């Protein structure tokens, strides 16, 4: 049975904020080990435990008949040459997809499969990315001044597997080189 009722919800397109949910905050100190340049990370977090991203999970029951949804807001910034980003995850039920729709800003989606395929899709306001099942995904803000805000939706039973990424990272990093987003091999990635 599904006890959800038809619901109107409201998200601020500039901030992703919802009047009906509290943000889940991910300041720098919660992202230890995720950025490649550890010295730059340690210096940054010591100086100021800045907000990197927040997301709003609307608390939909985690069943296959439901669609979980919410927004994510990534602040502009870099650690070393690597842009601010989300932790990234596989879905626990690996073969479940997700859709992201950009509400404001300029960033994109880093994606990879367990078999080693890698895709990066840049996004601006109005762009959507379909992340197929099996693809790990991480959101990255490539603007130096604006927040990157997206709405997302995925099957309620998908679950989140952060551990694989926490241990191994993604195969590729997105860094700024000569003022442009550039995909490079992750020196710390282990097969």
Residues β-bridged to residue 101 = 128, 151
To Zn ion, the closest distance from the beta carbon of 64 in angstroms equals 15
3-state secondary structure of 109: strand
Cα(first)–Cα(last) distance of the chain, in Å?
Answer: 42
Q: Which residues bind Zn ion (CB under 5 A)?
A: 98
To Zn ion, the closest distance from the beta carbon of 80 in angstroms equals 26
The DSSP call for residue 80 is T
CB of 82 or CB of 98, closer to Zn ion: 98
Output the six-digit token pair for 118: 């890698």
To Zn ion, the closest distance from the beta carbon of 17 in angstroms equals 20
Is residue 10 within 8 Å of residue 18, measured between CB atoms?
A: yes
CB of 78 or CB of 96, closer to Zn ion: 96
Is residue 99 within 8 Å of residue 147, measured between CB atoms?
A: no
CB of 41 or CB of 151, closer to Zn ion: 151
CB of 87 or CB of 125, closer to Zn ion: 87
To Zn ion, the closest distance from the beta carbon of 176 in angstroms equals 25
């Amino acid at each position: 049975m599904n006890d959800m009722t038809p619901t109107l919800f409201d998200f601020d397109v500039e901030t992703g904020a919802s009047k009906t949910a509290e943000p889940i905050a991910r300041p720098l100190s919660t992202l230890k080990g995720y950025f490649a340049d550890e010295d730059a990370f340690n210096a940054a977090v010591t100086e100021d435990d800045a907000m990197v991203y927040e997301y709003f999970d609307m608390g939909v029951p985690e069943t296959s008949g439901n669609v979980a949804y919410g927004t994510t807001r990534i602040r502009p910034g870099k650690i070393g040459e690597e842009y601010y980003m989300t932790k990234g995850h596989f879905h626990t039920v690996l073969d479940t997809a997700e859709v992201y729709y950009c509400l404001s800003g300029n960033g994109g989606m880093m994606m990879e499969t367990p078999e080693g395929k890698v895709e990066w899709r840049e996004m601006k306001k109005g762009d959507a990315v379909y992340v197929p099942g099996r693809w790990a995904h991480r959101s990255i803000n490539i603007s130096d001044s604006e927040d990157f805000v997206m709405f997302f939706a995925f099957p309620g039973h998908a679950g989140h597997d952060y551990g694989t990424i926490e241990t191994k990272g993604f195969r590729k990093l997105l860094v700024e080189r000569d003022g442009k987003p550039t995909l490079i091999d992750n020196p710390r990635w282990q097969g």
